[in-house]
Amino acid sequence: MRIGTRGSALALRQAVIVAENLKGNRPDLEIETIVIKTTGDRMQDIALSRIGGKGVFVKEIEEALLRGEIDVAVHSLKDVPSEIPGGLEIGAVPLREDPRDVLISRNGEKISELRRGARIGTGSLRRGIQIRHWFPHIEIVPIRGNLDTRIRKLRTENLDAIVVAAAGLSRLGLAGSVTQYLPVESVVPAIGQGALAVEMRSGDGRTRELTACLNHPPSFAAAEAERAFLKVFGGGCQLPIAAHAEITGDMLEMGGLIGNLDGTRIIRDSSAGHAVDAGKIGKELAVRILKSGGDIILAEVKTEI
């Protein structure tokens, strides 16, 4: 089996996690990892919202999958647009890692302890609007790059702190650098954050059978709800929207939001229901937020990014 992935340390680690789980189920399976450079990797000095946002970390990998050069693609689910190319599907979502964002501060302060005018680095509009909303005295500094690059920029860019995803740090063995885990009630995660997507060609029965062992049904259902929410907003992974679904037993609880770029207006709501209705719950939550004024914010944001 040929697994396609990006060349960053985190992406390679995620491919290893998938390969190890596959080998654990089928020790005889031969696995090769194919590294594919994406648009997002080539243009690391430009804001994602300026280079398209949608699929910049997955497009070239999906094209290789469609050409038959790889059998599966392993992505961070939050990088995958709500609409994927015809002929492909997300076949499995493994057990989700911690979905929260975390603060890494230079001098060990929690976010509420940072000085007025403190500089927090993040490349995410979603993180930026929520931090600005709760802490308007903090300056948001746009940064991009792989996880190790962003950690290095904490000092090279004269930042007081950075905000990144907990899951990436955990997968790379860097959880010890975390200053503070930000609760999902305060900073709602990105759609799919902490989860992996195993993408394959539709109708590829052999690959579907081999990868079935990877799927974690509660994580898959949570991803379905969040991605249905994303689809209502147009599928752009770089919009200032957020959603997080969590499953307990057979029930799903979900919160979501949209905000303007300076964080002064945020519309948020929540919903709950049976996990079998995950997609419906996510869609209805997004529609309700749009009808509550989110449509006006969305129109404004699209003219500004």
Q: Is 79 a catalytic residue?
A: yes
> What separation in angstroms does the CA of 3 have from each of 42, 111, 305?
21, 39, 34
DSSP 202-235: TT-HHHHHHHGGG--HHHHHHHHHHHHHHHHTTS
- Give the active site residue among 28, 41, 71, 79: 79
Distance, in Å, from the CA atom of 96 to the CA atom of 166, rounded to the nearest integer, reads 12
Can you tell me whether residue 1 is helix, strand or coil?
coil
> What separation in angstroms does the CA of 192 have from each of 26, 61, 84, 153, 233?
27, 18, 15, 25, 15
> What separation in angstroms does the CA of 217 have from each of 92, 169, 212, 276?
9, 24, 11, 10
Convert 217-238 to b/e letters by CB count within 10 Å (16 or more is b): ebbbbbbbbbbbbbbbbebbbb
Q: How many CB atoms lie within 10 A of CB 25?
A: 12
Sequence-distant (6+) residues with CB within 8 A of 176 are none
Report the chain's terminal Cα–Cα distance, integer Å: 40
Token reading at 73: 């693609």
Least Cα distance to 122 among 105, 101, 144 occurs for 144
Residues marked as catalytic? 79
